[in-house]
Amino acid sequence: MKPERTHTRRAAERGFTLVEVMVAITLSVFLLFGLFTILRQTRDANSATTGLSQLQDDERIAMTIMTDTIEEAGYVPEANGSGQSNFTTDTTFATQGQIIVAGTGAGWVGEKLTMRYVLGAGDSTLKCDGTTNSGAEQVYEEAFQITTTAAGVNQLVCIPNAGSAAPTTVPLVNNVANLTFQFAVNRTAASSSTASNAVGPNTASSATGYGCPADTWMTTADMQANANDWTNVCAIKVDIVFVNPIYQPPGQPNPTPGQKQYITFERVIVIQSKTGVNVTNSTHT
């Protein structure tokens, strides 16, 4: 009886064989590899979704602020003088009554757009930095351009006091690769004497080619070569080029094959003072 009990106890205490251990390890490795693959794909998908969401937010912020500000170009509250009398010449605006100008310069990325309008005392109209005029009535010059930070990041900024001796910049969004403009212009009989608020045909002479609507799209370079056209701008086409957050250079992991390095957002913005309402002769409530 004793030998039988010893044999039974030894059989119950026997461990795994080497083959069994190797099979178990191999299966575990395959399972872990599959798990890590799923985790990596989930992380990449989450990163791509976050990047695209941030890009959409940046595009919305940039275009909303630029649209609101550009639409205000030429605004004069409550029939308080004409555009010709309010918008005099200075170092930025070469023509009496001019309300829009754009150009390029050393140290800039892309193009810079500057516009001006009048805000009365206590006027609730917002500047590009979200503030209002807290003082007496004055002409404001505001600008949009791309600057590069010390860390090498391109930022779209607004300059709410571009006409002052010490202008300040307010960052709006990051990772902007380029900023360009095109201008809808009435080129028929355009001259520097065209009133900044002229709309449609010249009612005095019934002649066409006086203010808006536009008949030509022109680039910033074309406008600089034809300075008289700056007083005949009816609308502005804005192109903002962002860095694609899910783009991967060749040779690196690419979660979204076929993605371009840059994404361009475009919007046509009408200058409200040129759309048929003479803001210099109307009362706003």
Asked if residue 14 belongs to a domain, the reply is no
Asked if residue 11 belongs to a domain, the reply is no
Question: What is the chain's pLDDT, residue by residue, as a tens digit (285 residues)?
Answer: 455 555 555 555 667 787 777 877 888 887 777 777 777 767 766 676 777 788 889 999 999 999 999 999 988 876 555 455 678 888 899 888 889 999 987 777 899 999 999 888 888 888 899 888 888 888 899 999 999 988 989 999 999 999 888 889 999 999 999 999 999 987 764 455 555 445 444 444 434 445 677 888 999 999 888 777 888 888 999 999 999 888 876 566 655 666 788 999 999 999 987 765 433 333 333
Let me know: does 99 contact 73? Beta carbons within 8 Å. yes
Gap between the Cα atoms of 90 and 96, Å rounded: 9
Closest CA to 101 of 67, 66, 64, 141: 141
Let me know: does 155 contact 146? Beta carbons within 8 Å. yes
* Count of structural domains, the chain: 1
Asked if residue 212 belongs to a domain, the reply is yes
Asked if residue 103 belongs to a domain, the reply is yes
- pTM for this one? 0.74
pLDDT one-digit tens code per residue, 107-163: 778 999 999 998 888 888 888 998 888 888 888 999 999 999 889 899 999 999 998
- Per the structure, the complete domain to which residue 187 belongs is given by 47-281
SS3 148: strand
